[in-house]
Structure 1
């Protein structure tokens, strides 16, 4: 390890659906944060670890900032505010194909309250003409003194290397916090639950996404077969009608969720998986704070 090894913590912040999880997965090179075209996909601060010969960066992928409509929403916004205070650098991600909105202005107001350097990362540049970037840069420059402005395409990987070089240049000298082969500090159970939740988001209608939580009841290697992991998971939702949608006609939706989730989980674990899914109704759980911890939501580390 050279004497000028860099390390530090970087928060990724932005409106829902600007590509925060996509960027993190592109940087780390494997799927640790779930992706969906529906807002509020990320609910926890997902820590991802990038390690190179030059340094180590620990990323916090914060929930998309939004006007909260439930106690869970309040908790998610509190996570964002906490993240901004505990990092060395902030990446404010915007979507090049979306106009500046109230959500972006709300985030900029939050950024004024912290002294941490902020990079403006303009994502989804593959969706706009290069000439359209200059007016966007100018508009945001007038609103906040960004340390750097870097356009990228998180999905295609365009300019992501330049972003990483700049981050390593900016971060202080420091130790390697995690082993070089570790990509997240979340336990496998958490990531498995997130992969199941991602499949529900992809496959169900608008009324389902925000009202589900996934709990891994049991996850262990099958006795007598080291190449098979048994996973028992419960999908909680708020209404009986939602349960019906998740089950689907003759259990078809449930089977499809299970099939797609199992494929991703097998890639993650590198082994065969038996996945058993149950659905339970827990009325209005998003407003019951006593359930948050059971369902994997924490407002402190």
Structure 2
């Protein structure tokens, strides 16, 4: 099966046309890969997933698809998989705060470590949860994955914030639904900063990193929009866009956690209510979606 090559002969990457750079995207059936791959115009893209039939259904017949279980395959098997690949973009992972430590370590750390052992340059999609000692096994597993990647050859680590947008609704849609019904509230006083990033800006960041890999290699960067909005700003912006004219009520965190099972899981109560500011962003990269612009497009996709 032939590669799908997006031609753009006016764009250069370190002196080479994009069409000469071959990129392996892992976790092709995942949410991030589904929005990332269409944004990699100018690259030869190879897709890796556990279910090649589903991958071909999602992307069509123009891509080379490698069906592989990254948890079970050996390092030697991975070396065969990445032969001829210039850069690995490792999006595969498990985001499940209820999963066991063993399972999260296997998926988020073990696989990253094996890919790193292939010696290929890698862009590792990590999470700002590595900063948070309260993120439990998930944050721990991502941090371990970073450690293993750092022991490899060339790498760039991207610590992605709370992604929102079409396809990234978990933890957001339920709150927006409540606001649309007139229940405008903040968790606590709402003064905490929320590390949001619109999904299209994540795609732009990965593309930027691939274009500038030589300059950025060995770096670890936060992928969040700056300046980070407060929770109150988020709520008020959603209410304004929905034409809901009410000032936010303050809901105690204890009440929010108690009611979490009804509309918003406890993990998301914590993520939305804690103050988290991350400023180690990539110099020279300007993201396109400030809060209002991103939320407006998001609400349109949700048909509110």
Fold match (TM-score > 0.5):
no
- TM-score after normalising by structure 2: 0.35
Indicate the structure with greater helix content.
2
Indicate the structure with greater strand content.
1
Q: Which has the higher contact order (CA 8 A, sep 6+)?
A: 1
- TM-score after normalising by structure 1: 0.35
